[in-house]
Structure formats: C-alpha cells, structure tokens
Structure 1
Amino acid sequence: MKNIFWYGMASEKKIEYLEKFSVGIIGSRMLMELLWRSGVGCIRYIGDFLTPVDARIDSTVKPLEANDYDVVHPMSTDSCIISYPYPEDYTEFKRQLKGIDVIIAHKHVNRAARVAEELGVPFIPEIITTFLPDGVSFFDVRYDRPEHDPISYALTCSLQAGEIVRIFTGYQLPVIAPEAYVVDFDEPGYLKKIELKKKD
C-alpha cells in the first residue's frame, strides 16, 4: 500500500527506507494512522484522555471512545505501533520518546517541545512547520493556536504526514521554522503562510 501512497514522490528504495525511522506522536490518532499507512517503521503513540471534542474533530476516534483513555493497538502483524498512556512524570515522558527520530505533538505541545530539544530531534507542533535541533527554538517564537474542525484537522494531519516523508526521504525540504503554514479556508489552496514571531 505504501508504494502506491507515495507513488511519484519518491523512489521505491526511499519509500522502503521509511521503515528504518521511528516517530513519536502525542495526541493525534489520525496522524498515527496516516504515518502507519505511509510505511513509517515504528510509531510510539502517546495517547491522552479523549474528550467528546476529540471524537468530533478526529474522524479516526469513534464517538463511543470519548471520555476514556486513548490506546491504540498494532494495525497488522508487520507494524510496530507502541502505545503509551500520557504520563504526568516528565522523566517517564522523556523515556517513552527516547530514540525517536521526530516528535509530533498535538497535545502537551510545550512539554513535547522541551523533550525534543533535550533529545536533539526535530519537532512538529500542531501547525505545519518543523523546528530543527540547530534552528529556531520552539520556545523563542509565538503563534496563535489553530482552531480546528474535522476538515481542517484532517488536512493539517495529512500535510504533516507529508512533511515527515520529506524529512525521511529527502524529497524536497519540509517547512522550517520560523516559516509555517496553517489551514485557512479563506485562502486559495486552503493554506495560509505565517511567519512565527519572536517572543518579546
């Protein structure tokens, strides 16, 4: 499936190379599903308590799963999906993400960004941009947290999955902070380019 999914974006060899990478995802089951279907080797998924709002926005969450803790299971015999509950202890949170190549967080963003900086790995928050270990720090910039509906959330997750593939395959460059994009239906192509502002 993954070869069809990325047909034309990267060579088959590069697509197979995705299996060598691991991604840490905090609080986005939709993104986890997309990356699993894309062929990313190992996904460590840190779930959180699912609210009714989560179930309305993320179409991969069933409504009856609301008001419970988010746990996912391996999708196939050859998949590597490790699911953890979100820990309150910072040391445990960092341990869960150790050895990951990229961290993406839609929940507990500040904490995940801190771990990414300490581990020296790229970090993707809930907008479309990547903070590199030797680049602009997540904590040096500010942006308005996006408001999501089911469609804008699905588009954001899809674009972030594409950014991950760019990082891992070298097919074009991902969007690097302080440049960023957000989904905006008032814009042509539904994407609005924003410049992350430095904190005062």
Structure 2
Amino acid sequence: MKHFFWKNLMDEKKIDQMKNFSVGVIGSRLIFEILWRSGVGCIKYISDYITNFDVILDCSINPLEANNYDIVHPKSDDSCVISYLYPESKNELKSLLKGVDLVIAHKNVAQVAEVAEEVGCPFIPDIVTIFLPEGVRFREVIYPKVERDPISYTITCGLQALEVIRIFAGMKPITAPEALIVDPREGVKKIWLKTTV
C-alpha cells in the first residue's frame, strides 16, 4: 500500500523508513487513516466522543458511529495502531504520548500542545504548521480562527500528512510561525502567525 501511495514522490528507501516512526494523533480519524496508509510505523490514536459534527466534517467516520466513543482498530497485521480514550488528566496524556516522534491534535489543541512541548516532540495543531521543540511555542502565538467544512478539513489533513512525511524523510517542513490555512472561499493561504513575545 505505502509504495503505491507515495509512488514517484520519494524513493523506496525513504518510504520504508516511515515504519521506524510513531505519531500521536488526537481527534482526527482522517489524518490517522492517511498516516496509516503512508506507512507510518506506529500510531497512537487518542480521541473522545464522536459528535454529529465530527461525522459531517470527517469523511472517514461512518455516520452510524455518531454518539459513540471513538476507537480505531489495527488495519493490518504489519501496522501498530493503539487506540485510547482521551484521558482526564494531563499526566496521563503525557504518559500516553511518551515515545512518539510527533503529535497531531485536532481536538484539545492547547492542552496537547503543552504536553507535546513537555515531552519534547514536534507538534502539529489543526492548521498546517509544525511547532518544533526548539522553535516558536504554541502558547506564544495568536492562533487564527479557522472555519471548518468537509472540503477544507480534508485538504488540511492531506497537507498535514505531507508535512509529517517531509519531516520524517529529512526534508524541510513548514514550521511556525509560517503556516498554511485552508479557507473554503479563498483556497490555501500562507500566513505568518503573530507572536505575543
């Protein structure tokens, strides 16, 4: 699957390297699905409750799953997929995210950003940018208000997956304060996040 997914975009050696990385995904079944198909070695999927809005926004969720807890299962024998419910305490979240190479959050973004910083791993919020441990901190920026609809959400997830693959392949990703946002009316826009310090 992964060789077909990345055909003509990267050489096979770099594609095979994806299995050596682990990612923590919080609250986005679609980004989980894309990363799994990309060949990322281990995905810790952490989510809470699927609302009707989640079903409308994320095309990878079956409408019959609304109003249930969001649990995913391994997709194949060679994938490491571990599913957790979102914990009640910050310490428990920190414990769940220990050892991952990167964290992506589409829910509970501020708390997850804080924990990612504490465990020292790169963090991707629900826009297209990466907060590196030695770079601009999430709490130091004025976070833009972003409208969500199914199309812009899907494009955002695709662009985020590309940035994950770029960072794991040793290529230069988009890092904060530079960012991309997907506007349903204006398309993909490059912005600079304003810092408070």
What SS does the corresponding residue of 1:194 show, helix, strand or coil?
strand
4+ residue segments displaced more than 4 Å = none
Q: Distance in 2 between matches of 1:68 and 1:22?
A: 26
Q: Distance in 2 between matches of 1:185 and 1:65?
A: 26
Q: Aligned residue for 1:116?
A: 116
Deviation, structure 1 residue 102: 0.2
Match of 1:193 in 2: 190
- 1:3 aligns to what? 3
Once residues 177 and 8 of structure 1 are traced to their aligned partners in structure 2, the CA distance between those partners, rounded to angstroms, is 28
Is 1:92 the counterpart of 2:58? The answer is no
Deviations 1:133-173 (A, max 9, x none): 00000100012231211111110000100000000012x31
SS of residue matched to 1:155: helix
Whole-angstrom CA distance in 1 between matches of 2:189 and 2:48? 29
How far 1:184 sits from its partner (Å)?
Answer: 1.9
Q: Distance in 1 between matches of 2:146 and 2:104?
A: 15
Whether 2:66 is the aligned partner of 1:66: answer yes
Between the aligned partners of 2:61 and 2:90, the Cα distance in structure 1 is 26
Query: Structure 2 regions of 5+ residues with no counterpart?
Result: none
Deviations 1:46-65 (A, max 9, x none): 01111100000001111111
User: Hey, what does 2:176 align to over in structure 1?
Assistant: 177
Q: 2:146 corresponds to which letter in structure 1?
A: P
Q: 2:25·2:45 contact (CA, 8 Å) conserved in 1?
A: yes
For 2:131 and 2:89, the matched residues in 1 are separated by 24
TM-score, structure 2 normalization: 0.97
Q: State the SS of the aligned residue for 1:69.
A: coil
Cα distance in 1, alignment partners of residues 66 and 147 from structure 2 = 20
- Amino acid paired to 1:198: T
Q: What SS does structure 2 have at the residue aligned with 1:84? A: strand
Whole-Å Cα distance in 2 between the matches of residues 44 and 145 of structure 1?
Answer: 27
SS in 2 for 1:96: helix
RMSD value over aligned CA atoms?
1.0
2:13 corresponds in structure 1 to: 13
How far residue 103 of structure 1 moved from its aligned partner, in angstroms, is: 0.3
SS in 1 for 2:104: strand
Paired position in structure 2 for 1:105: 105
Structure 2 match to 1:42: 42
Alpha-carbon distance in structure 1 between the residues aligned to 2:9 and 2:130 = 20
**Identical-pair percentage:** 57
Instruction: Classify the secondary structure of the residue corresponding to 2:34.
Output: helix
Secondary structure of 1:148 counterpart? coil
| Per-residue deviation, 1:178 | 0.2
DSSP 3-state at the match of 2:74: coil
**Structure 2: distance between partners of 1:167 and 1:198:** 23
Structure 2 contact 23–103 (Cα < 8 Å) conserved? yes
Q: What amino acid maps onto 1:45 in structure 2?
A: Y
Question: For this pair of structures, how many residues does the alignment match?
Answer: 197
Q: Tell me, yes or no, if structure 1 residue 145 matches structure 2 residue 145.
A: yes
In the alignment, is the contact (CA less than 8 A) between 2:49 and 2:69 conserved in 1? yes
